[in-house]
Structure 1
Amino acid sequence: MIKAADMLIARRADTRARADFATWKMLAKLNGTSSLPAEAQSFLAGYKTLLEKMAEPEASEATIHLIYRSYYGEMGGAGAAPDVKAQLNGQGHAPGADNVTAFKRPAPKPAKTAGGPPAKPRLPVALIFICLIIVYASVRYFWR
């Protein structure tokens, strides 16, 4: 029987394994594997050998499972690591796979009608600038 604490550790280890593997894989694509720890480099080497034997999704899952078992032991899980399957949503994707929100343009504002409320008259910028010069000159003149 698996305890609740062990399942919590298992979920955390699985999440961490998936995140680390994605990071390591991206660094490998960017030719940055030399900056990874030795453990990560060994997992990536195992992943490359698995790629020769099977398709990419299966090789990824097998490598993630190996990383998960390693993390489960490091995090203090008791006994063998239980199987933690990513729960799939209705479209066949893992829950974190579709967390991107599509950009939507805001609805266009309706055009103002001729009979609507009158808009405030705006002061031209030049008039405001002239007023500021007058205020500045008057302050300088009176403080002398």
Structure 2
Amino acid sequence: MMIARRADTRARVDFATWKMIAKLNGASDLPPQAQEFLASYKTRLTEMSEHDATEATIREMYKAYYAEMGGGGAPPEVKAAAPAQQPVTDNVTAFRRLPPKAKTAQNGATTRPKLPVALIFACLVVVYVGIRYYFR
């Protein structure tokens, strides 16, 4: 059963990859086996729906991979994963920015910054002028 699961997974992954490469006009770069599977997929696509053609091609690839991986006899049926019953649409959490907290002193009153911006600017000007005079 392990070989069957691996072969089924490999068939599904390879087919999806090859199909995407073919859509990007790179089918000529694929190995001959992949080109054969894509050609059979295209012929099936004219006869049946896309989903049915995809599943039939994957089953064909699964049988080939099962034999290639050393599976004996007819490959067992591998049950496909059941799709989700109800798609979840309410999985988004809205994040809101918290209101800024005012700094409070011990008595509960809001406090102002210790040094006003103008004082800091004036100190920087004094330092700059002092450095200019020092290096002259």
Could you state the TM-score of these two structures normalised by the residue count of structure 1? 0.66
Q: Which amino acid aligns with 1:109?
A: R
Aligned partner letter, 2:77:
D
- Which residue does the alignment assign to 1:72? 66
- Structure 1: runs of 5 or more not aligned: 1-6, 93-97
What residue in structure 2 maps to residue 107 of structure 1? Answer: 95
Match of 1:55 in 2: 49
Q: Within 2, Cα distance between the matches of 1:21 and 1:77?
A: 20
TM-score, normalised by the number of residues in structure 2? 0.69
Amino acid at match of 2:32: A
Structure 1 runs (4+) deviating above 3 angstroms are 102-106, 119-124
Match of 1:118 in 2: 103
Rg larger for? 2
**TM-superposed deviation, 1:104:** 4.0
Q: Write the distance in 2 (CA, Å) between the matches of 1:59 and 1:123.
A: 75
- Count of residue correspondences: 117
Distance 1:108 1:13 in 2: 48
**AA matched with 1:89:** P
Q: Please tell me whether residue 45 in structure 1 is matched to residue 30 in structure 2.
A: no
Whole-angstrom CA distance in 2 between matches of 1:48 and 1:109 = 53
Give me the whole-angstrom Cα distance separating, in 1, the residues matched to 2:54 and 2:68.
Answer: 21
